[in-house]
């Protein structure tokens, strides 16, 4: 924890010096998670930047910045900038759930959080009726168009290049010469883009759930999610108790998916938080999205076979209720407008035309692509730069983390990224899902990596000893 004395001393504004922008004024604040009842103390401020970087005197927006000062009177000069996923998540809202994993890094380095423009406290954008996928792709397009019309913003200016420019402006304003970047999911792309644009300013990169430049977000979700589900079924077949309990589960799941495709099922379930009775309709897309959400983390994936067995036996209520909790956590602090502004400019235009008659791979099929195509057809699009996805050599020391069973950024993407990262090391966590920075020994490994400033000589042997949560044999838990 940061002592009050050190926090007070380090929160004083940096003095103005010739050639440096006016310093940032910080004051005490609380960072609260939007779903979990947790909060952390920080020092917060704001910085005005042009919405359109090419028009510096045009409309201005405000960036929210939070600093957790180092717990030492003489901090290291290179702070840790933490970048959230999504795209479109607010790092000041999601950081409280990760704060414990950053304690070692925070001992002698400031932790700096910059809400991506349009998220959290950075001139936030929110849809009155958020585009989602409750009734299929056509509905996505209609609702996306309604949302875009309702927003007073130039939605073409909320992509990764603008975010990179904002981060550099914050760095310069706060007087840091170099920074260490920790990126999660989409934040790994933003970190790589920053290092590509400002290689002399990035000291280290730690990328968790890697989305390299070559990746078109959403285009491979069908293949990657099916791979994660297959790994879960394989694990179950390898464990006697699980194999016996869930014999034929994969076949039954596919049959349930086909039934719900033909005829959605009415479900009465208790809300997992309030206990209120909910009348729901579960169709095939709802089942697909629930399964994908459970695959994100090893702990929720361990519960999935038990929930699927209940569902295939006719009881969809437990899966529907628990799915609400999992989905709420996944979408915590997410701005759908920013999500679409990034993907509709940087990814979806490069999908290529849909293959005639193709239903995609695995249980997810083409639903992710169909949904994004429909929404992006109605969303304002920035200038699409095809070179954005070209791999560029980056010599910044980089540590890449992947979960073996990650359904959206599996290890193959980190392996691809490492080909252009000449000073990198890729670690794969056995059986784990998406986002692993806080697991086991990794906070210690991360702190040592940043301290050394290189992957050379870094001891990562403890990662091989990490194991996923055991699979539940029923809704009460795993076998003893």
pLDDT tens digit string along 266-312? 988 888 777 888 888 899 999 999 999 999 999 999 999 999 999 99
| Bridge-based pairing state of the strands 277-282 and 111-114 | unpaired
| Alpha carbons within 13 A on the beta-carbon side of 81 | 33
Q: What is the pLDDT of residue 127?
A: 87
Dig out the tokens for 225 from the structure.
């999610």
- How far apart CA 182 and CA 198 sit, in angstroms, is 15
Are the CB atoms for 427 and 399 separated by under 8 Å? Answer: yes
412 Cβ contact partners less than 8 Å away, ≥ 6 residues apart = none
pLDDT tens digit string along 181-239? 999 999 999 999 999 999 999 999 999 999 999 999 999 999 999 999 999 999 999 99
- How far apart CA 46 and CA 120 sit, in angstroms, is 12
pLDDT tens digit string along 58-81? 999 999 999 999 999 999 999 999
3-state secondary structure of 372: helix
Are the CB atoms for 208 and 185 separated by under 8 Å? Answer: yes
- How far apart CA 176 and CA 145 sit, in angstroms, is 41
Residue carrying structure tokens 């927006």:
61
Q: What is the pLDDT of residue 139?
A: 53
- CA torsion angle 292 401 469 316 (round to 10): -10
Q: What is the pLDDT of residue 9?
A: 28
Question: What residue ranges define each of the domains in the chain, with the CATH number in brackets?
Answer: 4-129+152-217+386-465 (3.40.50.1820), 248-330 (no CATH)
pTM: 0.91
- How far apart CA 463 and CA 468 sit, in angstroms, is 12
Q: What is the pLDDT of residue 23?
A: 66
Range 23-44 burial, b when 16+ CB lie within 10 A, else e? bbebeebebebbbeeeebebbb
Q: Would you give the distance in Å from CA 213 to the centre of its chain?
A: 16
Q: What is the pLDDT of residue 356?
A: 66
**CA distance readout (Å), 248 to 124, 255, 318, 319:** 47, 11, 20, 18
Which residue ranges of the chain lie beneath pLDDT 70?
1-23, 129-139, 356-358, 477-480
- How far apart CA 269 and CA 435 sit, in angstroms, is 30
- How far apart CA 105 and CA 81 sit, in angstroms, is 11
Total residues found in the chain within this entry: 480
Q: What is the pLDDT of residue 131?
A: 47
DSSP state, 463? Answer: G
3-state secondary structure of 261: helix
């Amino acid at each position: 924890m940061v002592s009050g004395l050190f926090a007070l001393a380090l929160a004083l504004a940096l003095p103005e010096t010739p050639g440096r922008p006016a310093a940032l004024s910080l004051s005490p604040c609380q960072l609260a998670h939007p779903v979990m009842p947790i909060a952390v103390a920080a020092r917060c401020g704001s910085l005005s930047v042009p919405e359109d970087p090419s028009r510096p005197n045009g409309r201005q927006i405000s960036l929210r910045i939070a600093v957790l000062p180092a717990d030492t009177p003489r901090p290291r000069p290179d702070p840790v900038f933490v970048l959230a996923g999504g795209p479109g998540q607010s790092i000041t809202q999601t950081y409280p759930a990760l704060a414990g994993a950053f304690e070692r890094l925070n001992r002698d380095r400031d932790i700096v959080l910059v809400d991506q423009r349009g998220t959290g406290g950075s001139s936030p954008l929110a849809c009155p009726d958020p585009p989602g996928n409750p009734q299929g792709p056509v509905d996505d397009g209609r609702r996306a168009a309604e949302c875009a019309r309702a927003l007073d913003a130039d939605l073409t200016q909320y992509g990764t290049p603008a975010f990179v420019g904002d981060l550099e402006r914050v760095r310069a304003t706060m007087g840091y010469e170099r920074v260490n970047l920790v990126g999660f999911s989409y934040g790994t792309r933003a970190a790589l883009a920053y290092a590509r644009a400002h290689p002399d300013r990035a000291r280290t990169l730690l990328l968790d759930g890697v989305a390299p430049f070559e990746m078109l977000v959403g285009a491979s979700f069908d293949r990657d999610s099916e791979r994660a589900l297959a790994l879960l079924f394989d694990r179950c077949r390898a464990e006697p108790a699980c194999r016996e309990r869930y014999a034929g589960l994969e076949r039954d799941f596919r049959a349930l998916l086909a039934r719900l495709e033909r005829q959605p099922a009415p479900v009465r379930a208790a809300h997992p938080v309030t206990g209120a009775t909910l009348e729901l309709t579960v169709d095939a897309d709802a089942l697909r999205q629930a399964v994908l959400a459970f695959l994100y983390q090893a702990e929720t994936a361990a519960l999935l076979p038990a929930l699927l067995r209940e569902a295939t036996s006719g009881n969809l209520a437990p899966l529907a209720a628990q799915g609400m909790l999992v989905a709420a956590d996944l979408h915590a602090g997410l701005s759908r407008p920013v999500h679409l502004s990034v993907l509709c400019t940087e990814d979806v235009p490069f999908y290529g035309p849909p293959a005639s008659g193709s239903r995609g791979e695995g249980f997810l099929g083409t639903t992710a692509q169909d949904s994004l195509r429909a929404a992006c057809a109605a969303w304002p699009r920035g200038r699409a730069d095809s070179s954005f996805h070209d791999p560029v050599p980056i010599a910044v020391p980089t540590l890449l983390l992947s979960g073996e069973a990650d359904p959206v950024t599996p290890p193959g993407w980190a392996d691809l990224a490492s080909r252009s990262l000449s000073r990198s090391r890729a670690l794969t966590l056995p059986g784990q899902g998406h986002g692993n920075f806080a697991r086991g020994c990794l906070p210690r490994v991360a702190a040592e990596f940043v301290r050394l400033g290189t992957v050379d000589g870094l001891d990562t042997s403890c990662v091989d000893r990490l194991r996923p949560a055991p699979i539940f044999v029923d809704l009460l838990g795993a076998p003893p």
